[in-house]
């Protein structure tokens, strides 16, 4: 008798518990690797964004400061150290451009000012303690020749062009190689004729009747810039709740102006001034140690820039050197100047600028 079943039996097929556990373990390893790769890429992306951010901050701030430092004391052909401008404008932020074109100040940790003469109400808010304040004054790069000769020293000033779009309330320099006048504009007739009345000026008679003669002694007109740069709290907070500091610029050539935020992420500003001595040697000094501001012929600037948000994996512990100062992490023993204990990326930017318009020093 045949006892074989009609169909052959097959052994049960499938995965054992051990095989399943091994597969799960391998999957976990793979997922962990993928997750680590993702997190690593994310951290790299954040770090790259932080680097790009502070590079942009540093370049912009240094370009702004360096460019205007080079133009400090500019009043056309007339050298400010040889030809003193006749200041007619009321409430002018200067009495002589020779000494006010570059001025430096420091805000001490106690909140007082050293090394200069800027009233604190010019700034409108107390700058960051331990940081520097820098004033730069001079004529604009954009100059205009006169369209015609002035009929008298008290006549309005006819411009051939108005590249800076001068308007009422602004200050302007009118100068040739032998004289210079600083006026406050009352109105601009037809967009090209500067009117300066007794309401805005102490006198309405310039040093001379300027002409439109071509050549070396040609009279020119330009906007007068008077800017004060400083660092202060922007009033905004980063993702971790810490304050964001910014570089500000205050226009002191006009009355009741609010400080303008130029770029965020600047935590500290340090400035040293190259003062020429009687032996023609240039010594770089802090603002409090400068003896004659009219002899400052070069300036060194350093700033500490930080990313807006935390991008480092651990807290920043570096000590940063800004020219002759050191800035350490908050809580560092013996440190006078500190930055917040956070994970923001930081970098120091430095630049030097020669004051081109002090030619005869």
The pLDDT assigned to 120 comes to 47
Rounded-to-integer distance, Cα 115 and Cα 243, Å: 27
Identify whether 307 is part of a domain: no
Q: Give yes or no for a contact between 253 and 168, defined as CB atoms under 8 angstroms apart.
A: no
Asked if the structure places residue 279 within a domain, the reply is no
In a domain, 118, yes or no: no
| Structural domain includes residue 252 | no
Distance CA 133, CA 148 (A): 41
Q: Give the list of residues 6+ apart from residue 142 with CB closer than 8 angstroms, or none.
A: 163, 164, 222, 223
- Count structural domains, the chain: 1
In a domain, 185, yes or no: yes
C-alpha neighbours within 13 Å on the C-beta side of residue 279: 3
- Helix (H) or strand (E) segment spanning residue 42: helix 17-70
Cα 360 to Cα 9: distance, rounded to the nearest angstrom: 111
pTM > 0.75: yes or no: yes
Residue 339 lies in a domain: no
Where in the sequence is the domain holding 167, given as residue range(s)? 86-104+138-224
CB contact at 8 A, 327 and 279 = no
Predicted local distance difference test score (pLDDT) of residue 26 = 75
pLDDT by residue, tens only, the chain of 361 residues: 555 555 555 555 666 777 777 777 777 777 776 666 655 555 566 667 778 889 999 999 999 999 999 999 999 988 898 999 999 999 999 999 999 999 998 876 555 555 444 554 454 556 888 899 999 999 999 999 999 999 999 999 999 999 999 999 999 999 999 999 999 999 999 999 999 999 999 999 999 999 998 777 789 999 999 999 999 999 999 888 888 999 999 898 987 788 899 999 999 999 999 999 877 789 999 999 999 999 999 999 999 999 988 888 888 899 999 999 999 998 899 898 999 988 899 999 999 999 999 865 5
Q: In angstroms, how far is CA 166 from the centroid of its own chain? A: 23
Q: Is 163 part of a structural domain of the chain?
A: yes
User: Is residue 220 situated within a structural domain?
Assistant: yes
What's residue 256's pLDDT? 78
Q: In what order do the strands lie in the sheet with 325-329?
A: 320-322, 325-329, 337-339
Hey, what's the torsion of the CAs at 271, 78, 148, 215, to 10 degrees? -120
Token pair listed for 19: 């095989």
**Phi and psi angles of residue 277, each rounded to the nearest 5 degrees, phi first:** -95, 180
Q: Tell me what pLDDT residue 117 has.
A: 46
């Amino acid at each position: 008798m045949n006892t074989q079943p009609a169909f052959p039996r097959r052994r049960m097929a499938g995965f054992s518990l051990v095989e399943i556990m091994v597969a799960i373990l391998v999957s976990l390893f793979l997922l962990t690797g993928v997750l680590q790769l993702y997190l690593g890429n994310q951290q790299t992306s954040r770090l790259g964004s932080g680097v790009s951010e502070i590079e942009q901050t540093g370049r912009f701030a240094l370009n702004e400061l360096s460019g205007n430092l080079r133009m400090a004391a500019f009043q056309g052909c007339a050298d400010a150290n040889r030809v003193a401008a006749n200041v007619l404008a009321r409430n002018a932020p200067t009495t002589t451009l020779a000494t006010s074109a570059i001025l430096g100040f420091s805000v001490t940790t106690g909140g007082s000012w050293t090394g200069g003469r800027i009233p604190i109400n010019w700034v409108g808010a107390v700058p960051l303690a331990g940081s520097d304040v820098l004033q730069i004054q001079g004529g604009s790069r954009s100059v205009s020749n006169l369209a015609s000769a002035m009929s008298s020293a008290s006549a309005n000033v006819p411009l051939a062009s108005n590249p800076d779009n001068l308007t009422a309330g602004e200050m302007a320099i009118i100068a040739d190689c032998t004289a210079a006048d600083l006026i406050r504009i009352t109105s601009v007739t037809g967009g090209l004729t500067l009117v300066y009345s007794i309401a805005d000026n102490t006198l309405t008679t310039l040093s001379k009747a300027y002409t439109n003669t071509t050549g070396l002694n040609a009279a020119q007109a330009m906007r007068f810039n008077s800017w004060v740069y400083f660092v202060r709290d922007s009033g905004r907070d980063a993702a971790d709740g810490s304050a964001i500091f910014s570089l500000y610029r205050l226009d002191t050539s006009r009355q009741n102006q609010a400080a303008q935020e130029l770029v965020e992420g600047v935590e500290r500003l340090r400035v040293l001034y190259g003062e020429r001595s009687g032996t023609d040697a240039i010594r770089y000094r802090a603002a409090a140690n400068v003896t004659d501001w009219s002899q400052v012929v070069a300036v060194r600037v350093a700033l500490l820039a930080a990313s807006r948000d935390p991008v480092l994996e651990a807290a920043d512990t570096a000590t940063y050197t800004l020219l002759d100062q050191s800035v350490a992490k908050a809580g560092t023993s013996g440190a006078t100047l500190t930055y917040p204990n956070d994970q923001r990326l930081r970098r120091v930017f430095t630049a030097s600028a020669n004051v081109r318009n002090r030619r005869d020093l």
